[in-house]
Amino acid sequence: MKTRYRLIVPALLAATALTAQSPFGRMTSRTAPDPATMIANQVERLTRLLTLTTAQQAQATTIFTNASNAVTPLETTLSTNRAALGAAVKSNATGTIDSLAASIGTTSGQILAIREKADAAFYAILTADQKTILDSRGDLGHGPGPGGPGGPGGRGPRP
């Protein structure tokens, strides 16, 4: 009888691990969800938290999609400049390091401004009761991250 349990328990644990849900739903690959899926998940979390109306959900989706579209080219620039910065460090090009660091700072600031403006636009569509709920949480329901989700430092699924 003990032998049977020795086989069943690990099998159950393995099955549980295989069917576990991630914050983005069931992960079928190692690739991150596309921006539309991340925005849909974000709006879903905000809907659960704030009981958004259908109209608010549509507005939120538009707000966060527009922000994501504005941020995408800046993230590409940021990635390119970070790679160039690594090369400049290896070649001890101090002038280039200064220039790239300043550019990275400016681009990061632009990304942060876009995201915060999207948050402000979302906040503006909320009722007083919804704002109270959100204010009590201290974030826009995006989850944890350095400096708050969605911004510099690898904050996740925010647009």
Per residue in 9-59, pLDDT (tens digit) is: 444 444 444 444 444 455 566 788 899 999 999 999 999 999 999 999 999
Q: What range defines the domain where residue 110 resides?
A: 34-137
Which pairs from 61-64 meet CB under 8 Å and 24+ separation?
A: 63/118, 63/121, 63/122, 63/125, 64/39, 64/118, 64/122, 64/158, 64/159
Residue 90: per-residue pLDDT: 94
Give the closest residue to 151 by CA, choosing from 82, 74, 81, 86.
Answer: 74
Q: Give the containing element (helix H, strand E) for 88.
A: helix 54-90
> Is 84 contained in some domain?
yes
Residue 158: per-residue pLDDT: 44
Query: What's the predicted TM-score (pTM) here?
Result: 0.69
Domain count, the chain: 1
> Is 100 contained in some domain?
yes
> Is 23 contained in some domain?
no
DSSP 53: -
Per residue in 58-108, pLDDT (tens digit) is: 999 999 999 999 999 999 999 999 999 999 999 999 999 999 999 999 999
> Is 50 contained in some domain?
yes
> Is 127 contained in some domain?
yes
> Is 86 contained in some domain?
yes
> Is 120 contained in some domain?
yes
Report whether pLDDT(117) > 90.
yes
Per residue in 124-156, pLDDT (tens digit) is: 999 999 999 999 987 664 544 334 444 433 444
> Is 52 contained in some domain?
yes
